[in-house]
Structure 1
Amino acid sequence: MSNATTAAKQPIFDAGDVGNQAQGFVTASIAWVQAYWLQILIAVGIGAAIVVALHAARRFGSKLCQRPRALNGWGMVVGKAIARTGNFFIVMLAAKLVSGYSAAPGEVATTINFLFTVAAVFQAAVWVREIILGAIEHRTQSEHYSGEALLSAMGLIRLLVTFVVFAVALVVVLDNLGVNVTGLVAGLGVGGIAIGLAAQGIFADLFAALAIIFDRPFRRGDSISYDTASGSVEAIGLKSTRIRGIDGEERVISNKNLLNKEILNNTQRNHRRAKFIIGVTYSTPPEVCSRIPAMLKEIVEANDKIFTRAGFTGFGASSLDFEVQFDSKGPDYASFYDGRTAVGIAILKRFNDEKIEIAFPTQVNMMAAPDGSVVMPYPETARPKSEGVTA
């Protein structure tokens, strides 16, 4: 290993040389004050002004916390992070900014740089933690997501975020001190993997709950459908979501399994569509059939529904088939249901008035003699005179 590499691995402070370094630091500081006292006084004044300005910024952040509606709530998140700015960071930032102007000696500059690095790294960790937790709390405090389960989950989330953020900060500080952090990082990685494997089910549902909060595929009170089930969302918890089924039952499904399914949010519909397939008898005249689509359109519009389309769809086994589609505004199922009933009854009444017969399935069974000839379904003596008998 080269000398440069060996030097890079040496810590800044060697335990055996602490006394010599402290004596050198004091000697250099006294000489520096005697030689640059005027610049030091000016730097102290500037540093004091910087400290006052940073304290004013911190007070401004505290005021933002008292106005939850500022910037749609995000101002409170940022203000809370600013309000957590520490005095040690403020002082070291001011010292770092003015140390160059006051021509600080190498020992003093090195000490300021070291303390500023420690203060800046841990202050950044505090800001990141507050922003992450504030963003999560901002979402969970919505009336659609509030609940004891999610609020209690904040304790676990706060613990995990704090551990991760400050673990990273500690590694950064130790690396700046010249400590070999490879083993520490590897140990943290192995420990994290072990914890993750042991509680992967809990973490999967926890992250799924956070995905529901941030992505908002549905909210509490929404009517949703998934697989073959439907219901109204009653509670979104840390591990599971509770849905009240249309038959009154309570369905409990884990957040992870629920998000793996295709979810239909019926509350977010902008309309509901209904469709009727109507078959008329083959004896209906063609000119009457050509008027049926226009009749259907008139009926739909007369019932204050949005007409989509109507027309002939095909030749059925025992009917001429027509189809009509129409929409009902909004997601309300009761209004849609009543409107569909009204349109259906109006179609039946109009067809009765127009003497249009609605077809129903019919079937004619023919019998055959042993030689394969058709056996008439009535006796020969009862054959109608119109058919006649050829001699």
Structure 2
Amino acid sequence: MTNEIYGIDYLRRRLADKQTRVLLRYKYYEMKNNAQDFSSLAPEKFKGLKETVGWCAKAVDSLADRLQFDEFQNDEFDLSEIFLSNNQDILIDSAVLSALISACSFVYIREDNGYPRLQVIDGSNATGIIDPVTNLLTEGYAVLERDSMGVVKTEAYFMVGMTEIYSHGVLVQRIPNAAPYALLVPIIYRPDAKRPFGHSRISRACIAYTQTALRTIKRSEVSAEFYSFPQKYVLGLSEDAEFNNRLATISSFLNFTKDGDGDHPIVGQFQQQSMTPYTEQLRTLASLFAGETGLTLDDLGFATENPSSAEAIKAGHENLRLTARKAQRTFGTGLLNVGYLAVCIRDRYAYQRDAFRDTKVAWLPIFEPDAAALSGVGDAILKINQAVPDYLGARNIKALTGMESDGK
């Protein structure tokens, strides 16, 4: 753990530096991003056309929905009781979703009448100095409240053993605690040595493919006008004839009489424009996006075949399964860190982190098995337990199937 103190002003600047990128990813998740239109050929009426593509939201939700927290195993310090008292389902789902979008979310721990209370703060409102060994913070900073214009009203500065609360930039409260780390815990998605605060699920490639898809949809909207109403032409019209093409509608008829020489104009129609190039381009972009995120074309709205079985769906999402496994490990560490500091607050004692080394975070299966898969799992369990008696028990079976025994 480093002994250097950076201070609240440094952390404010650090958050301001990172906030723009985080808010950009939230825009893509909420489908509020604008398409960067490079074309000067589009009619002026189409300049303000707003198109949306929900691929980024799908990439995040498809992973977040499969990360279902189950329980703390070997829970000697009763972490489960703390999480259940803090709306466990909403708390963990919110922390996981925010971490997938912004690479890192934070859980703010405070004491309320001697009991720890947990609150999730998104990555655009918190930052800190991380200990690379434990993934806990030695210092932290969080914006707790903003006004309607986004201006900071209440903020907190976290240190080891102390939390300071600021209102409009003025220190108003100092709250001591027994925790050996700052009471702001990061929940990180895919951290590495270079980026300890992780990577966003909405990568730069996802943003680029979404932008191209939006421009493709906008071009198809412009072309649809010509697709629906092909352009027509008139040849050989007399120079003295009066003709207003704005009078021509779908249900109207045009009357051209012969001139004195018995000649008449020739009316024709240009070839109807095809929408196929746009759909093919959109499908190609969907394939690239699916490859980037571990999804399939079916997930992105392009039907490829008949409905698949549970095993076929699982096989088609192998990359997503591996990504979910990785996320379970890193998120599990973050949740365990939250429980560790919350226990320090509850018991008013600075436990060592290695005292929680036997406590494990258990998750429900990433893919729920169907009836056929359950039959196969049952046969496998029977054969394994015949070879090694009592090797697979209720806990292992629940990890494979997601089902609890009625006798529990």
TM-score normalised by the chain length of structure 2: 0.23
The structure, 1 or 2, with the larger RCO (C-alpha pairs under 8 Å, 6+ apart) is: 2
**Which has the higher Rg, Structure 1 or Structure 2?**
1
Larger helix proportion of the pair: 1
